[in-house]
């Protein structure tokens, strides 16, 4: 089932089990200290203890002997990654610590075939060559413990400081590439990211952490975790506060005039974020809640705002409560029921001046509220694992408005309610002991957009021991969001907006364990996006204006020798283009390379984590003066130590170690063609357990 389930003895066998029989499960590969830990799913033991806790207590050489779980996101139930009908990557809590990842964006940027760009307000996730400037991350579905966190106005999702969770609360991140609308509906287009949280036993009662870094950046966190010995109930409560003044000044040559401070934005890149998370688990019931408030100063003067004006900022707030009941009736049958409520708020202030010199303050204001429920049953019988379910969502509010503050002038005001729902089925059949066939389908209905049918097929063959070949096909859709239906100014009549866009993906994945502790993964894919939604030439309305296609190859080689060393090298070639013209898509580097090295400096106590990231040049939008952003290499280095003093962890991270100058293409709302990113930054972090 989705989320985290206890380790079961009958689910622990060897890698050869796939050849011996369908119902065997994965045993060992590695846990969080292994880079690119392809088979970890954060197994939980008695009392809420997780494998992360064990990894902190045992020598690295013993970790390969620990039975572990697999992935829960690819099929909405737990299975080995070798059996999942997708190319899956798992990033563990240990990797997050050892490589000094600060946000979910850092975590995702480490994954093969994914890349993250930023415009000094938000971070944007690219998958397999698709990351159009100005999009809202609406073609990737992000979840927290199976709870969907994309908003219901722009259908976007946050991955920077505005994400719901402090990364210290993450047990693992499961990244499932390819279309998954057959299980999750709209926005499960290019990938699904499921962020799974730690259990109470991971925190050993109370954990406090603080960090300080460049740009006067400070963060503090306090987390309490408790397991009741009598009832077995588990409680986690955590709060985090982050604040940064940002760089002292940023230079933008597009504004280099005396009346605009010669292009220097002084202390205009500050950020404040507050996070809260709590969960209560008792028997089959889990209640959880999360909340984030983020306020970001924006230095780029986008949307024709006044340069270097302190009033230009954006605030984002997202909170949810989730109640999940997950019961295992027998070894064959499981049931999940979930109900939830989300509220998402976004505001932004835009200071500007008219041609006459009169000053004004314009404001965006959006509110989304969602009431939802889902049900799912999983049944294993003979050679089949059958799963079926459905979900409904009632959108209590899907509102957005734009107005001048003083004097008040209403420019747009969209007030909307709607509903959507879908039902899905999937069957995994063992045709032979080493051959699986996976078929799934889902039908969704979105008020105002109509219905959509999403199939998925997978043939998974284990031709020899420790080797797997997957042949995959999937079709996914994305329903137009409220902003696209009504237009950016809310002036379009309902029904005049675009219809859903669709993607079809063909993929082959080969995974093989090799001698000398090596593991190789090769994935090739082709996809085509039809009825792609985009803003028309007038800038007043969205329509189904183009098609896109891409082909690519992703390779990854992981080496885990004795002594605690870990090495992973990944390379991705991705050619994404307009289907009609063959022109390269903007913000789409053709080549990505990622190298991760973990070296034990002091056995079992001190580690060095080195991350090298490469992206080739990426084209800007057509018509820009600067045709592309140059390719670049980045190096990030983290020194991490544990138990130097009892209960204490210390890390020192240097991001952009060699102070590389690099920039990203940005959307049409910016006067700049590309935006330069930060140089070398330092972050020191101390965590104590009591």
| Bridge partners, residue 456, by sequence | 440, 474
DSSP 228-261: -TTT--EEEEEEEEEEE---SEEE-GGG-SGGGG
For residue 562, pLDDT over 90 is answered with: no
Residue 375 near residue 422, CB atoms below 8 Å: no
Tokens 């204001």 correspond to 365
Residue 387 near residue 77, CB atoms below 8 Å: yes
Beta strand extents in 81-139 (DSSP E only): 88-92, 114-118, 123-127
For residue 59, pLDDT over 60 is answered with: no
For 148, 324, 512, the CA distances from 238, given in Å and listed in that order, are: 20, 20, 40
Q: How confident is the model at residue 149 (pLDDT cuts 50, 70, 90)?
A: very high
Residue 629 near residue 650, CB atoms below 8 Å: no
Tell me the per-residue pLDDT of 16-39, one tens digit each, with 9 for 90 and over: 334 333 333 333 333 333 333 333
For residue 645, pLDDT over 50 is answered with: yes
Residue 33 is predicted with a pLDDT of 31
Section 201-208 average pLDDT: 90
Residue 650 is predicted with a pLDDT of 96
For residue 342, pLDDT over 50 is answered with: yes
Tell me the per-residue pLDDT of 419-453, one tens digit each, with 9 for 90 and over: 999 999 999 999 999 999 999 999 999 998 899 99
Section 173-191 average pLDDT: 95
| Bridge partners, residue 351, by sequence | 361
Tokens 């507050």 correspond to 274
Section 489-497 average pLDDT: 76
For residue 279, pLDDT over 60 is answered with: yes
Tokens 């020194």 correspond to 639
Section 635-643 average pLDDT: 95
Residue 355 is predicted with a pLDDT of 67
**% of the chain exceeding 70 in pLDDT:** 89
As a whole number, the mean pLDDT across the chain is 88
Taking the CA atoms of residue 58, residue 61, residue 62 and residue 63 in that order, the dihedral angle to the nearest 10 degrees is 80
| Bridge partners, residue 436, by sequence | 430, 460
Q: How confident is the model at residue 482 (pLDDT cuts 50, 70, 90)?
A: very high
Residue 347 near residue 365, CB atoms below 8 Å: yes
Section 509-530 average pLDDT: 94
For 79, 114, 427, 464, 472, the CA distances from 84, given in Å and listed in that order, are: 7, 19, 12, 17, 10
| Bridge partners, residue 117, by sequence | 124
Residue 584 is predicted with a pLDDT of 94
Residue 323 near residue 287, CB atoms below 8 Å: yes
For residue 595, pLDDT over 90 is answered with: yes
DSSP 488-546: TTS-SPTT-SPPPEEEEEEEEEEEEEETTTEEEEEEEEEEEEEEEEEE-TTSS-EEEEE
Residue 443 near residue 453, CB atoms below 8 Å: yes
Tokens 């979910």 correspond to 104
> N- to C-terminal Cα distance for the chain?
33
Residue 104 is predicted with a pLDDT of 97
DSSP 536-551: -TTSS-EEEEEEEEEE
Burial of 415 (0-12, 13-18, 19+ CB in 10 A): exposed
Q: How confident is the model at residue 52 (pLDDT cuts 50, 70, 90)?
A: very low
Largest CA distance in the chain: 79
Tell me the per-residue pLDDT of 63-107, one tens digit each, with 9 for 90 and over: 433 333 479 999 999 999 889 999 999 999 999 999 999 999 999
Taking the CA atoms of residue 380, residue 381, residue 387 and residue 389 in that order, the dihedral angle to the nearest 10 degrees is -100
**Domain residue spans in the chain?**
9-689
Residue 299 near residue 250, CB atoms below 8 Å: yes
- Cα(669)–Cα(350) distance, rounded to whole angstroms? 12
Residue 130 near residue 142, CB atoms below 8 Å: no
Tell me the per-residue pLDDT of 235-274, one tens digit each, with 9 for 90 and over: 999 999 999 999 999 999 999 999 999 999 999 999 999 9
**% of the chain exceeding 90 in pLDDT:** 77
Topology adopted by domain 9-689: Maltoporin; Chain A (2.40.170)
Residue 465 is predicted with a pLDDT of 80
Tokens 């709607």 correspond to 418
Q: How confident is the model at residue 571 (pLDDT cuts 50, 70, 90)?
A: very high
Nearest alpha carbon to residue 330 among 377, 390, 384, 281: 377
Section 298-325 average pLDDT: 96
For 422, 440, 545, the CA distances from 446, given in Å and listed in that order, are: 9, 20, 21
Q: How confident is the model at residue 14 (pLDDT cuts 50, 70, 90)?
A: very low
- Cα(166)–Cα(169) distance, rounded to whole angstroms? 6
For 435, 454, 465, 474, 523, the CA distances from 470, given in Å and listed in that order, are: 10, 20, 15, 13, 9
Tokens 């999403």 correspond to 454
Tell me the per-residue pLDDT of 113-122, one tens digit each, with 9 for 90 and over: 999 999 999 9
């Amino acid at each position: 089932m989705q989320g985290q389930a206890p380790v079961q003895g009958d689910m622990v066998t060897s890698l050869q089990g796939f050849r011996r029989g369908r119902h065997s499960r994965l045993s060992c590969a590695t846990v969080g200290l292994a880079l690119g830990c392809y088979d970890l799913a954060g197994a939980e033991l008695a009392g809420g203890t997780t494998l992360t806790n064990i990894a902190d207590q045992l020598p690295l050489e013993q970790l390969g002997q620990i039975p572990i779980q697999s992935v829960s996101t690819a099929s909405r139930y737990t299975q080995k990654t070798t059996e999942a009908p997708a190319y899956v990557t798992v990033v563990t809590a240990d990797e997050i610590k050892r490589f000094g990842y600060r946000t979910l964006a850092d975590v995702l940027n480490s994954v093969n075939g994914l890349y993250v760009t930023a415009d000094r307000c938000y971070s944007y996730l690219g998958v397999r060559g698709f990351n159009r400037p100005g999009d809202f991350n609406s073609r990737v579905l992000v979840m927290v413990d199976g709870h969907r966190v994309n908003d219901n106005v722009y259908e976007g999702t946050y991955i920077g400081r505005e994400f719901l969770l402090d990364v210290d609360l993450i047990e693992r991140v499961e990244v499932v590439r390819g279309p998954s609308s057959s299980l999750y509906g709209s926005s499960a287009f290019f990938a699904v990211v499921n962020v799974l949280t730690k259990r109470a036993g991971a925190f050993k009662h109370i954990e406090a952490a603080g960090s300080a870094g460049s740009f006067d950046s400070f963060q503090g966190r306090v987390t309490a975790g408790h397991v009741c010995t009598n009832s077995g109930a588990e409680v986690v409560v955590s709060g985090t506060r982050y604040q940064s003044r940002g760089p002292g000044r940023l230079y933008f040559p597009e504004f280099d005039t005396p009346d605009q401070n010669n292009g220097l934005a002084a202390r205009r890149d500050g950020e404040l974020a507050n996070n809260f998370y709590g969960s209560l688990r008792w028997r089959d019931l889990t209640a959880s809640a999360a909340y984030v408030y983020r306020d970001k100063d924006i230095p780029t003067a986008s949307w024709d705002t006044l340069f270097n004006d302190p009033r230009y900022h954006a605030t984002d707030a997202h909170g949810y409560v989730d109640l999940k009941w997950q019961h295992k009736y027998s070894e064959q049958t499981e049931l999940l029921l979930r109900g939830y409520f989300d509220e998402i708020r976004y505001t932004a202030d835009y200071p500007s001046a008219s041609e006459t010199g009169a000053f004004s303050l314009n404001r965006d204001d959006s509110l989304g509220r969602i009431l939802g429920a889902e049900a799912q049953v999983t049944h294993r019988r003979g050679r089949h694992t059958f799963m079926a379910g459905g979900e409904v969502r009632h959108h209590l509010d899907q509102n957005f408005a734009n107005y001048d503050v003083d004097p008040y002038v209403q420019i747009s005001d969209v007030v909307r309610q709607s509903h959507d729902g879908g039902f899905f089925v999937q069957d995994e059949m063992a045709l032979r002991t080493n051959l699986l066939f996976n078929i799934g389908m889902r039908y969704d209905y979105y008020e105002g957009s109509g219905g959509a049918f999403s199939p998925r097929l997978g043939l998974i063959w284990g031709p020899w021991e420790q080797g797997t070949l997957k042949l995959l096909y999937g079709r996914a859709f994305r329903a137009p969001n409220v902003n696209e239906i009504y237009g950016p100014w809310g002036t379009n009549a309902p029904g005049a907006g675009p219809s859903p866009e669709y993607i079809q993906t063909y993929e082959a994945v080969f995974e093989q364990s090799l001698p000398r502790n090596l593991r190789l993964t090769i994935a090739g894919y082709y996809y085509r996006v039809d009825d792609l939604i985009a803003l028309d030439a007038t800038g007043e309305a969205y329509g189904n204006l183009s098609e896109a296609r891409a082909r690519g190859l992703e390779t990854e080689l992981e080496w885990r020798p004795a002594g605690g060393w870990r090495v992973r090298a990944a390379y991705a070639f991705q050619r994404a283009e307009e289907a009609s013209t063959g022109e390269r898509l903007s913000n789409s580097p053709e080549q990505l390379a990622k190298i991760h090295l973990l070296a034990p400096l002091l056995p079992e106590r001190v580690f060095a984590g080195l991350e090298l990231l490469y992206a080739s040049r990426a084209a800007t939008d057509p018509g820009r003066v600067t045709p592309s952003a140059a390719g670049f290499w980045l190096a990030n280095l983290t020194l991490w130590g544990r138990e130097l003093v009892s209960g204490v962890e210390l890390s020192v991270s240097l991001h952009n170690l060699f102070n590389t100058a690099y920039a990203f293409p940005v959307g049409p709302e910016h006067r700049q063609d590309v935006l330069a990113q930060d140089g070398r930054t330092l972050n020191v972090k101390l965590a104590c357990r009591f």
